[in-house]
Amino acid sequence: MARFALVTAAFALLGLAGCGPGTGGGPVPPPMDTCTAPVQGSVDTLVIGAGNPADLSSGTASPFAPLHDGDGMTPVRGGQGATMLGFVLAATGSSVPSCLEQQTLITDGSGGTVTQSLVPLTTYAQPDGSHATHAMWMPASYPQTFVVSATAGGQTVSLHLHLAQ
């Protein structure tokens, strides 16, 4: 009986060791680059881009890669097994705030909410004069086709996208 208890305890410890962040075989999403003092600011254009999965392991931000209506996105499996997609917001304007109040909503074909982000995000000046956020890695059970809509600084943009397999 003591041997059974020892073997059971060993398996339990091995199981617990495999349940923490980063042990599920995939990248763990970094925390969103949020800020605490959002400002409406002046946004002339708002563009949605794709997060680069390579950034998850490198810890850096890739150059902005805009998405276009009809594009496909490759899902990334997170460290705890969730499917996630990364979205980046880029804005132009005379006074794009460094702390951007934003709403990003992902909906399915019937308009039902898949996931959303309502947290203010830090923006970073880009060489072309625009400002971009770091990727928002949004875990969800994504349908094959979906709509991503982002609103910030009085501008809204929506794209019809699909999962690339």
Task: Inform me whether the pLDDT recorded for 155 exceeds 60.
Answer: yes
pLDDT band at 110 (very low <50, low <70, confident <90, very high): very high
What is the C-alpha separation between 84 and 142, in angstroms, rounded? 8
Tell me if 52 sits within 8 A of 74, measured CB to CB.
no
Place of tokens 């501008």: 155
Mean pLDDT throughout 141-150? 97
* DSSP string for 112-159: -EEEEE-S-EE-EE-TTS-EEPPPEEEE----SEEEEEEEETTEEEEE
Q: What is the pLDDT of residue 141?
A: 95
Range of the domain at 21: 2-163
Q: How many domains does the chain have?
A: 1
List Cα–Cα distances, 123 to 128, 132, 156, in angstroms.
14, 5, 17
Q: What's the gap between Cα 115 and its chain centre?
A: 10
Is 30 or 83 the better-scoring residue by pLDDT? Answer: 83
Mean pLDDT throughout 140-147? 97
What is the C-alpha separation between 47 and 133, in angstroms, rounded? 11
Q: What is the pLDDT of residue 86?
A: 95
84: CATH: 2.60.40.2550
List Cα–Cα distances, 137 to 21, 81, 94, 145, 150, in angstroms.
15, 14, 28, 18, 14
Tens digits of residue pLDDT in 34-74: 899 887 778 999 999 999 988 887 777 888 999 999 999 99
Q: What is the pLDDT of residue 60?
A: 75
What is the C-alpha separation between 143 and 47, in angstroms, rounded? 22
